[in-house]
Amino acid sequence: MIAAINPTSRRHHLGAELRRLRQASGLTSTQAAERLLVSQPKMSRLELGQRAVNPRDVRDLCAIYGVTEQHVVDALMRMAAESR
């Protein structure tokens, strides 16, 4: 249960989930970075959990990836807020 409270663990889990959603949408990390208006290295760090993701970026990435289930978007945004 300790890992559930650890912000680093949450960042890693969130990053992996964002990568899974990106891949499911058929986008490369470069394409996703361009659409989010960030660099590809930043996108890579987000997906690896090496950098905190703000909830707004999570919301925007969900829109880019075509995630329409609001409960999924809300859960990912909560995870982003808790990983800071």
CATH code of the domain containing 16: 1.10.260.40
What pLDDT does residue 5 have? 66
Does an H or E element contain 84, and which? none
Q: Who has greater pLDDT, 9 or 15?
A: 15
pLDDT, mean of residues 22-47: 97
Length of the chain: 84
Alpha-carbon distance 70 to 63, whole Å? 11
What pLDDT does residue 3 have? 45
19, pLDDT greater than 80: yes
pLDDT, mean of residues 37-63: 96
pLDDT, mean of residues 46-61: 95
Among 18, 16, 11, 31, CA closest to 62? 18
Q: How many domains does the chain have?
A: 1
Domain residue limits at 62: 2-28+37-82
